[in-house]
Structure 1
Amino acid sequence: MKYIKYLIYFAAQQALSCVFPVAIFLILAISKVISIPFLYRYDFILIACVIVQVMMVHFKLETIEELKVISLFHIIGLVLELYKVHMGSWAYPEYAITKFWGVPLYSGFMYSSVASYICQAWRRFDLKFINWPSNYITYPLAAVIYTNFFSHHYILDLRWFIVLSLFVIFLKSNVEFKVYKKCFKMHLVLSFFLIGFFIWVAENISTFLGAWKYPNQTETWNIVHLQKISSWFLLVIISIIIVANLKLKHSSDEICNT
C-alpha cells in the first residue's frame, strides 16, 4: 500500500510539472472547436501561449532565470521548425498573420513547454544527477545532436550512432529524485527515453488537435511514426543539458560524483 501512496504522489507532482504543456493542449482543443472572432487560430494560440508564459512567471511557477533557459529552447525549437517545414518534414496548413516561412510563431512554445516541464520537475522532485559528465562532453554532445537534425537531410543520419554513444557517455550516470521524502534512483538514459516517449504521446494528441500535420496526416489523422520517439529522446537531452547548466550554476549539490 505504501508504494501506491508514492505512485499517487509521483503522478500528482508530474501533473503539476506539466502545467505549461497541459495549458497548450487546452488552448489547442479550445481553438479547434471554437472559432475566435477577428483572430486566425494560430494567432490566437500564440497570444494565449504568451499569456500563459507571463502567468507562469507572475505566479512564481517559473523564475526569471528559468524563463531565460526556456526562451533559449524556444528559439532552438523555432529555428528547427523553420528548417524542417522548409524541407517538407511537416506543415502548418492554416493561415496566420504571425506565420513566417510557413511556421507560426506559437510553435516555439511547444519546445519551451518541454524545458518548462524539466524545470518544474527538477524543483518538485529535488533532482540530483550522479556522475553527470563534464561540460567538455555534454556541450559538444548537444551540438552534435542538434546539427544532426539539419545535416541528416544531406548526409548520413547519425542518430543511432549518437544513441549508442549515450550509453557510453552516461554509463555510470543516474538521476536521483525524491517522492514523498523517499529517494529513488533511475539510470539517466532511461529517464531521457521515458520523457521522449511521453512527449511522443503528447505529439499524437497535438497533431490530432491540428497543431501541425505530418505528410501522412494530410487527408486523415494517423499515429505519429514511432521513429519520432528517438527525435524527442535526443531533443530532451539538449533541453536537460541547457537546464542543468542553469541549475548547477545556482547550486553546488545538484551533482553527486561517486
Structure 2
Amino acid sequence: MLAALDDHLTDDRPRTLAGWRRAVTEFLYFGIKEARSCLFVGLFFAAVFLVPRAGLFGIARYDVLLVAALAIQFAMVAMKLETWDELKAVSLFHVVGFALEVFKTSGAIGSWSYPDAAVTKVFGVPLFAGFMYAAVGSYIIQAWRLFDLRIRHHPPHALAAIIAILIYANFFTHHYIGDYRWYLAACALGLYARTTVIFRPLDRDRRMPLLLAFVLIGFFIWLAENISTFFGVWRYPNQLGAWSAVHVGKWSAWSLLVVMTFTIVANLKHVKARIHVPE
C-alpha cells in the first residue's frame, strides 16, 4: 500500500487544474506528502504516547520504545522506503544525538533528565533517545524524495560543514564559554540567504527560502518536545514539580540543529547531485 501511495504521490504528470481548485489540491497533496514524510516520526511518537509509563509485559517503557524504534527503522529499509546509505546517515544522527543527550543529562550539566528506570540506559540516557534526532533526519530524507527537492544557490559544502560543526559544538561549549547561537544563526543567515528549495507538491515546481524551511521544521520539533515532556518521557528541571511549556528559546536551538541535520543529508551521494552550488 505504501509503495502504491508513493507512486501516486510522485506522479508529476500535468493536471488540468486552475484557480482555487489547483490551490486546494496542491495544499492537500502538500499535507499528504508531509504526513508521509513523517512516517518514522509518526510511528515512533505514537509509541511514545501509547506505551504506558509502567511499560508493557513487565518490560520498562524506555526498553519498549527502543524495540519499537528499531522495528520501525528496519521495516522501512526492508520495504525499501529507505536505502542502506540513508540508514547510515540516520544512524549518524542517532550517534550525534545520543552523545549530546549524555552530555546534557550528566550530573555536571543537568539540562534535563530521564526519570524512569530501564535496562537499556547508558550513562543515564535510554538508547531510544537517539532516535528522536534520527527521526528528523528520516523526515528530511523522505521529504527529499517525495517532494522531488532541489536546492539552488547552496553555499560551498566546506563552509556548510564548518557552520554545522560549530552549531553542534556550541551545544556543548555554551555551558563553559558562553552561548554563541545567535552569532552562528547570523552566519547561517549569511550563508543560506540566497538558497532556495524547489519542491513539487503536485505537478508544478514551487519555491521557498531554505532558511524558512529550517525555522518551520524547528517549530514543529519544539511542539513535539512540548508534547513529549507533557507525557513525561523526559523532564526539564522546571517541569519536575508540574509540567510547564518548554521555553520558546528552544525553538531557535532546534532550528539550528535542523541546519546541522540538513548538512549531513545533503552529503548523501544521490542528494548531493540535486544541489546547485554557484561557482
Is TM (by shorter chain) over 0.5?
yes
Q: 1:33 to 1:155 in 2, by over 3 A?
A: closer
Return the index of the structure with the highest Cα Rg.
2
Structure-2 residue corresponding to 1:80: 100
In the alignment, structure 2 segments of 5+ residues that lack a partner are: 1-19
Contact 1:133–1:170, Cα closer than 8 Å, also in 2: yes
The worse-fitting range, judged by mean Cα deviation, of 223-232 and 163-172 is 163-172
Please state whether the residue corresponding to 1:129 is helix, strand or coil: strand
Counterpart residue number, 2:11: none
**Change in CA separation of 1:34 and 1:217 when aligned onto 2, cut-off 3 Å:** same
For the structure 1 residues 252 and 170, does the alpha-carbon distance in structure 2 shift closer, same or farther, using more than 3 Å as the test?
closer
CA contact (8 A) 1:178 1:184 kept: yes
Offset at residue 251 of structure 1 (A): 5.6
Residues 37, 252 of structure 1: alpha-carbon distance in 2 compared, 3 angstrom cutoff = closer
Structure 1 stretches of 4+ moved >6 Å: none
Q: Percent identity?
A: 45
State whether residues 28 and 210 of structure 1, in contact with CA within 8 Å, keep that contact through their aligned partners in structure 2: no
Q: CA deviation at 1:124?
A: 0.4
* Aligned CA distance change for structure 1 residues 12 and 155 (closer, same or farther; 3 Å): same
Secondary structure of the corresponding residue to residue 176 of structure 2 = coil
| CA distance, structure 2, for counterparts of residue 48 and residue 156 of structure 1 | 38
5+ residue gaps, structure 1, are: none
- Paired with 2:250 and 2:153, the residues of 1 have a C-alpha distance of 28
Does the aligned pair in 2 maintain the 1:21–1:113 contact within 8 Å? yes
- Is 1:95 aligned with 2:117? yes
Work out whether 1:250 is the aligned partner of 2:270. yes
The superposition leaves residues 10-62 of structure 1 with CA deviations (integer Å, 9 ceiling, x where unpaired) of 00000000011111111111213674112011111111111111111111111
Give me the whole-angstrom Cα distance separating, in 2, the residues matched to 1:167 and 1:49: 34
Q: What is the TM-score when the length of structure 2 is the normalising length?
A: 0.89
Offset from partner CA, 1:191-233 (integer Å, 9 cap, x none):
1101101111111111122221111111222111101101110
Distance 1:56 1:190, change over 3 A: same
Say if 2:54 and 2:60, in contact at 8 Å, map to a contact too.
Answer: no
**Offset from partner CA, 1:105-158 (integer Å, 9 cap, x none):** 000000001000000000000111101111220111111001000000001211
For 1:1-258, list aligned pairs within 5 A. 1=20, 2-32=22-52, 35-86=55-106, 87-246=109-268, 249-250=269-270, 253-257=273-277
- Please state whether the residue corresponding to 1:176 is helix, strand or coil: strand
Over aligned residues, Cα RMSD in angstroms?
Answer: 1.3
Give the counterpart letter for 2:96 in structure 1: I
Letter in 1 for 2:220: F
Shift in Å at residue 165 of structure 1?
1.3
Instruction: Using structure 1 for the length normalisation, give the TM-score.
Output: 0.96
